[in-house]
């Protein structure tokens, strides 16, 4: 007789089933890893762009035209800077009710521009550190900027990403 016995066929199907389960587990793990890294990457890029924009605005503003207003878990910073060839702008960075860091630019002669820079700002005071903080260091022209962003994970957890830099303003 030619062919496979029922026992040989059952063993082959069991081996195939175990192999397929292992491959499916690898795909699921890869998918979760890709989601994590794409979420973290998007948060990192958004936070870095937000800080870059704030640094640029602060560098172009005299330190006498920068005011920081503390709130619970974040600061709000307002500054005046040159805009264009002969214009000026009043720019405010704050965290809105949706935990987004927003830049509101009142450009004289052109109107108001509201721009969401980054979402999911951790606007809670944690271990004495705010989710968005602008603090003078030493003399009044040097500031430390801190921005903390939450990344929501598929597993239901949260990954907190913290970014910081310093900036020297015009005197």
Tens digits of per-residue pLDDT, 76-112? 999 998 887 778 899 999 999 999 999 999 988 788 9
Query: What integer pLDDT is reported at residue 35 of this predicted model?
Result: 73
Residue at 57 is within a domain:
yes
Query: What range does the domain containing 90 cover?
Result: 12-17+26-168
Residue at 3 is within a domain:
no
Residue at 63 is within a domain:
yes
* pTM exceeding 0.85: no
Q: Is the pLDDT confidence value at 59 over 80?
A: yes
Confidence of residue 51 (pLDDT cuts 50, 70, 90): very high
Q: Using CB atoms within 10 A of its CB, is residue 170 exposed (0-12), middle (13-18) or buried (19+)?
A: middle
Per-residue CA distances from 59 to 12, 125, 133, 169, 170 (Å): 70, 27, 17, 4, 6
Query: What integer pLDDT is reported at residue 6 of this predicted model?
Result: 85
Total of domains in the chain: 1
Order across the sheet with 158-168: list the strands: 132-136, 142-152, 158-168
Residue at 4 is within a domain:
no
Q: What is the DSSP letter of 155?
A: T
Q: Using CB atoms within 10 A of its CB, is residue 39 exposed (0-12), middle (13-18) or buried (19+)?
A: middle
Residue at 164 is within a domain:
yes
Query: What integer pLDDT is reported at residue 50 of this predicted model?
Result: 92
Q: Is the pLDDT confidence value at 57 over 70?
A: yes
Residue at 5 is within a domain:
no
Up-side HSE of residue 35: CA atoms within 13 Å toward CB? 12
User: Residue 103 pairs with which residues in a beta bridge?
Assistant: 93, 115
Query: What integer pLDDT is reported at residue 151 of this predicted model?
Result: 86
Cβ neighbors of 134 (< 8 A, separation 6 or more) are 54, 68, 75, 77, 93, 143, 144, 145
Residue at 2 is within a domain:
no
In this prediction, what percent of the chain has a pLDDT beyond 70?
A: 99
Residue at 1 is within a domain:
no
pLDDT, tens only, 108-132: 878 899 999 998 888 777 777 788 9
């Amino acid at each position: 007789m030619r062919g496979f016995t029922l026992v040989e066929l059952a063993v082959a199907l069991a081996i195939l089933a175990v192999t397929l389960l292992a491959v499916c587990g690898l795909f699921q793990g890869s998918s979760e890893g890709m989601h994590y890294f794409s979420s973290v990457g998007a948060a990192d890029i958004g936070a870095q762009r937000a800080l870059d924009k704030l640094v640029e605005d602060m560098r172009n503003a005299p330190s006498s035209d920068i005011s920081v207003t503390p709130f619970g878990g974040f600061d709000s910073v307002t500054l005046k800077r040159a805009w264009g060839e002969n214009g000026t702008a009043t720019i405010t960075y704050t965290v809105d009710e949706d935990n987004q860091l927003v830049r509101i630019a009142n450009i004289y002669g052109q109107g108001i521009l509201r721009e969401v820079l980054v979402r999911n700002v951790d606007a809670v005071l944690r271990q004495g550190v705010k989710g968005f903080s602008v603090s003078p260091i030493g003399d009044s022209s040097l500031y430390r900027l801190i921005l903390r962003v939450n990344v929501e994970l598929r597993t239901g957890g949260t990954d907190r990403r913290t970014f910081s830099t310093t900036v020297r303003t015009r005197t």
